[in-house]
Copies of this chain bind each other. A is one copy, B any other.
Amino acid sequence: MNTEHLTAGLAQAVMSSVPETSAEAMKEARKGLLDFTAAAFAGRRDKGIEKLIKLAEEEGGAPTAPLIGRNQKTTPSQSALINGFIAHALDFDDVHSDVRGHPSAVILPALIAAASSGHIDESRFLGAYVTGIEVMARLGESAGRHHYEKGWHNTGTLGAIAAACAVGFAENLNQNELQKAIGFAAARSGGMRVQFGTEMKPLHAGLAAQAGLFAVKLAKAGFGGSDHALDGEKGFFGLYGDLERAETLLLNGWGKPWRIVSPGLWFKVYPFCSAAHHAADAILKLKAEHGLTFGQMERTDVIYPPGGDAALTERRPKTGEAGRFSVEYVIALALHGKDFSAKHFTSEPIPESLQKGFARIHRSYDDQIQPADNAVPKGRFTIVRVTASGNHVYETRIDCPKGAPGNGLSEKDIEDKLRLALPGEEEKAEELIKAAGQSNIERYLQLI
Residues of B within 8 A of A233 (CB): 151
**A17 interfacial contact with B, CB 8 Å:** no
Bound CA span A347–B189, Å: 27
| A235-243, A334-342, A366-374, A411-419 - the one binding chain B | A235-243
Residues of B within 8 A of A58 (CB): 62
**A307 interfacial contact with B, CB 8 Å:** no
**A392 interfacial contact with B, CB 8 Å:** no
User: When the two chains form the complex, which single residue of B54, B76, B188, B232 contacts A188, counting CB atoms closer than 8 Å?
Assistant: B188
Residues of B within 8 A of A187 (CB): 156, 190-192, 195, 200, 203-204, 207
Would A194 and B151 be within 8 Å (CB), given that A55-B221, A224-B48, A225-B199 are in contact? no
Measured CB to CB, the closest approach of chain B to A59, in angstroms, equals 5
Would A194 and B229 be within 8 Å (CB), given that A62-B59, A218-B55 are in contact? yes
Report the copy number of this chain in the oligomer: 2
**A281 interfacial contact with B, CB 8 Å:** no
Contact digits for A151-162, partner B, Cβ 8 Å, 1 yes 0 no:
110001000000
User: When the two chains form the complex, which single residue of B188, B192, B217, B222 contacts A186, counting CB atoms closer than 8 Å?
Assistant: B192
Docked-complex contact B190 and A221, CB < 8 angstroms: no
Nearest-neighbor residue (CB-CB) of A54 within chain B? B221
Would A51 and B229 be within 8 Å (CB), given that A183-B200, A194-B183 are in contact? no
Would A192 and B239 be within 8 Å (CB), given that A187-B200, A200-B183, A217-B55 are in contact? yes
Residues of B within 8 A of A62 (CB): 58-60
Residues of B within 8 A of A214 (CB): 55
Bound CA span A203–B199, Å: 28
Docked-complex contact B223 and A51, CB < 8 angstroms: yes
Residues of B within 8 A of A51 (CB): 218, 221-223
Residues of B within 8 A of A199 (CB): 223-225
**A234 interfacial contact with B, CB 8 Å:** yes
Bound CA span A411–B190, Å: 40
Residues of B within 8 A of A73 (CB): none
Bound CA span A189–B207, Å: 12
Residues of B within 8 A of A198 (CB): 224-226
Bound CA span A356–B195, Å: 52
**A321 interfacial contact with B, CB 8 Å:** yes
Docked-complex contact B192 and A229, CB < 8 angstroms: yes
Bound CA span A60–B194, Å: 34
Docked-complex contact A193 and B234, CB < 8 angstroms: yes
**A150 interfacial contact with B, CB 8 Å:** yes
Contact digits for A240-280, partner B, Cβ 8 Å, 1 yes 0 no:
00000000000000000000000000000000000000000
**A128-151 CB contacts (< 8 Å) to partner B:** 150-151
Residues of B within 8 A of A192 (CB): 183, 186-187, 226, 229, 234-236, 239
Docked-complex contact B59 and A151, CB < 8 angstroms: no
28 sampled A-B residue pairs with Cβ under 8 A: A48-B224, A51-B223, A55-B221, A60-B61, A61-B61, A150-B234, A151-B239, A152-B239, A183-B194, A183-B200, A186-B190, A186-B192, A187-B190, A187-B191, A187-B195, A188-B188, A189-B190, A190-B190, A192-B226, A192-B234, A194-B228, A198-B225, A198-B226, A199-B223, A200-B223, A200-B225, A200-B226, A203-B218
Chain A residues at the B interface, C-beta cutoff of 8 Å: 48, 51-52, 54-55, 58-62, 75-77, 150-152, 156, 183-184, 186-195, 198-200, 203-204, 207, 214, 217-218, 221-226, 228-229, 231-236, 238-239, 321, 347
